[in-house]
Structure 1
């Protein structure tokens, strides 16, 4: 299964080639590296040569932005009724993964059609794209957890920017393992869980996360905070080398043994305007209730 994030108006993947992508974020053009782009660039036309910002990788690791035109430190883009702040960071990212719009639409639809109060737990929640979507979809409560304080602050700003400040959203800065363990002890339950685990990371107390070592055990742990009638369980991954079937197998071996529902996996991609090709942007695994 291939899901396309093809309903954007404020974002466009203009062209790709030679390890880089050319994107429009609102009215600003950014040029950034992408390890998936191993095909050639046929022509470095005008926008390639003169974007607003160009992120250059360093041979020593990391990199930096070169700004060729005046642009603000941050600006706003919309996806349908949702709004997000965009800000180029020192790690080439902009604070939003536009391909996740394919998941936002699904999250909103699932919650709206549930016809019952839904509590959502969003783990490794970053700047809150899925949190904003869940709140917009009508979730009774959303709990947003990320180890980076700056990302959680950014997520709060996105919620307010989307006109959803009145929604019940808990923002938590914590290691996700420790947080879920505490929720188990408190007896808290959630009807939907979303997670976007990194390949590698460290928690606020130096806790080490390696996805190949920790993911299955973490999903098993999270099952202890699922309600008796869960709505969905969504896993995103950007880990290179992982097949979508890995996530499908993990879900079948965990949540699929306890709850009846549909399990499937696939890739997420963004269409490339110039060539008509699709840029792969990670994989997903989903379990969803059939009720």
Structure 2
């Protein structure tokens, strides 16, 4: 019999064993948090912002269902960024409360931990759809041109490119995303599908910054994805596009007494190669 247990597991007390009580205290301390930044990202736009280590960040559907494509980097070294594929393996393909987003090699550590998710109860629907997707990635003008023969400059990839330019980053720094509020799955032919976003005004996805982070989010031009972007039934989803709100909170320092930012991977980076001999 083929095992269906998760392939990637850790011993008790390891980095996959999350201290849920700690994150519950931090997230549940509404009276011990102070709003330090807030803004709204308009439809079909992108913006980047910073979240200091030990702070909370909340992504909010402002006035209707809307998918947001999310990127995240180490603020001090953008070579360290979200590794979507490994996060799918270490956590799951659709993340929620207590899941972590992991960084790429050679860093391999949690960038953030999800602390609150009002859509956590959505579960798996009748078609196998689930929310907060790491299965797919951002829409982009290159695939759009290939599929339709037309140029459109406000895909999530382009929105993210414009968003990170003020931080000295370029198109090459934009990477596979977490699709916040997006409902997706695999069909009977093992093909990726997208469904209408189940979020409603005021729904939110909140996370705790394990490091000083640079974040960026695109309000997807597909809006709530109720209108197909490609294929025979494709249309312009402009009427189902909504803004997304961002809130950053500082928490009471006493809540962080037992917390420390995670260290980068302990592997020595030798890869089977000998250290060069010293010649004095």
Q: Per chain length, whose mean CA-contact separation is higher, i.e. which structure has more relative contact order (CA < 8 Å, sep 6+)?
A: 2
Shorter-normalised TM range: under 0.3
Higher helix share: 1
TM-score when normalising by structure 1: 0.25
